[in-house]
Amino acid sequence: MKSNDTETEQYLSTSNRISGWIVIAIGVVGLLDIVLEWRTASGIMVGSVIAILMVLAYCGLVRPSVTLSPETIVLRNHLRDRVIPWNQVSGADVADILRVHTDAGRFRAPGVQLVMRDLRKQRVGGRKLSADSSLSRADIVVGRIEAHMDQYGAVDGGAVKTNWARPELTAIAVLAVIAIVAALLR
């Protein structure tokens, strides 16, 4: 199966993203209540803590993904990204989450994960797994990675790069400082 050179493919956990956005929405409601009702240092401190929890929910549930492009595979983890050129990828498999193998090591990607319920069904041999089970989706992602390896692996793309999630880390640091200052001013 050949990919279109101009397209990228992104794989992620839909259920995690939905849960993350629900947590963030609840946090927004809490922040709105604080803004409308409390105008004290305690309110600022509580609002900062809620905002930190919202950023952590984003980092843990919404942010992780796997992006395949003709040049690289990008493993977007909770607080850092791994940009891996196809010539560096030697394989991929799924244990509990996707693992991409390179000569530099094995990189884990929580954007593609297996649901324990599907693993139990597979081991026990109970009810048949549905076509949209996490096992089927994970197998599709591994297959797409292998297809990209075959198609783009000959092109030298350089070394594996690691980028930290600077906006998220900065937001957490700034909110923590605001919470500490507000706690000291109470």
Distance CA 140, CA 131 (A): 11
Instruction: Kindly tell me if the per-residue pLDDT of 23 is higher than 70.
Output: yes
Question: Is 3 a member of any domain?
Answer: no
* Type of residue found at 145: I
Q: How far is CA 106 from the centre of its chain?
A: 17
Q: Which domain holds residue 171?
A: 9-185
Confidence grade of residue 112 (pLDDT, cut at 50, 70, 90): confident
Predicted pLDDT of residue 2 = 45
Q: What is the mean pLDDT of residues 81-93?
A: 92
Q: What is the mean pLDDT of residues 89-104?
A: 88
Question: Is 2 a member of any domain?
Answer: no
**Start-to-end C-alpha separation, the chain:** 62
The structure's pTM equals 0.81
Distance CA 73, CA 87 (A): 10
Distance CA 85, CA 37 (A): 51
Question: Is 103 a member of any domain?
Answer: yes
Confidence grade of residue 126 (pLDDT, cut at 50, 70, 90): low
Tell me how many domains the chain contains.
1
Instruction: Kindly tell me if the per-residue pLDDT of 123 is higher than 60.
Output: no
Question: Is 1 a member of any domain?
Answer: no
Question: Is 106 a member of any domain?
Answer: yes
Mean pLDDT in the chain?
Answer: 85
- Top pLDDT among 1 and 45 is at 45
Question: Is 4 a member of any domain?
Answer: no
Question: Is 75 a member of any domain?
Answer: yes
| DSSP three-state, residue 109 | strand
